[in-house]
Amino acid sequence: MEKEQLLGTTFTCEQVVTPDMTAASAVPGTPNVFGTPILVALVEKTCFMCMDQASAEGEASVGVTLDITHSSPTPVGMKVTCTAKVEKVDKKMVTFSYEAVDEAGVIGTGTHVRAYVQKDKIEAKAAAKLNK
């Protein structure tokens, strides 16, 4: 699939909230509900998997910006579904809008921009920081 063909497509991922996905597991003292860091990871995963359909050999996508509103709590045991829509494709940059829902309604919305990169090059660039 060509990258431009992603425009307008949607991709969906879902997961059931487990105790290790709670805010309390990430930050002790916070509520025992679906944590924002895990919502961020679900958004990243959904958008990554969408872009992966058009990845060339050796290519992957990385997050560039993320705008998130986490508007409603979700208890352990409930399913969360994230649906991302490709709003813009500009060369290697892809802009998404997304909505996350649990079984009771909308829990999060926002936008996410990702960029296609050469996986080996970005890993080498990161590793080079260890030698400084």
pLDDT in tens, 47-68: 999 999 999 999 999 999 999 9
Asked if pLDDT for residue 130 goes beyond 90, the answer is yes
pTM for this one? 0.95
Round to whole Å and give the CA distance between 104 and 109.
15
Q: Where are the domains of the chain?
A: 3-131
Q: What is the token pair recorded at 121? A: 């090059």
Instruction: Measure the CA–CA gap between 97 and 113, rounded to whole angstroms.
Output: 9
pLDDT of residue 20: 97
pLDDT tens-place string over residues 61-116: 999 999 999 999 999 999 999 999 999 999 999 999 999 999 999 999 999 999 99
Contact by Cβ (8 Å): 96, 114: yes
Catalytic residue, chosen from 44, 74, 95, 112, is: 44
Residue 31 pLDDT exceeds 90: yes
* Mean pLDDT confidence for 106-127: 97
Give the separation between CA 59 and CA 100, rounded to whole angstroms. 27
pLDDT for res 14: 98
Res 1: pLDDT: 86
pLDDT score of 132: 79
Q: Of 9, 22, 65, 70, which one is the catalytic site residue?
A: 70
DSSP 75-100: -TT-EEEEEEEEEEEETTEEEEEEEE
Residue positions in the annotated binding site for CoA?
A: 63
Is 69 considered catalytic here? no
User: Is residue 112 among the annotated active site residues?
Assistant: no
Find the mean pLDDT for residues 114-122.
97
Residue 50 in contact with residue 96, Cβ under 8 Å? yes
Q: Which residues are documented as binding site for substrate? A: 63, 114
- Which CATH superfamily does the domain covering 3-131 fall into? Hotdog Thioesterase (3.10.129.10)
H-state helical runs in the chain: 23-26, 36-52, 119-128
Is 44 in the active site?
yes
- What are the binding residues? 63, 114
Can you tell me the distance from the alpha carbon of 124 to that of 99, in angstroms, rounded to the nearest whole number? 34
Determine which one of 14, 18, 30, 36 is catalytic.
36
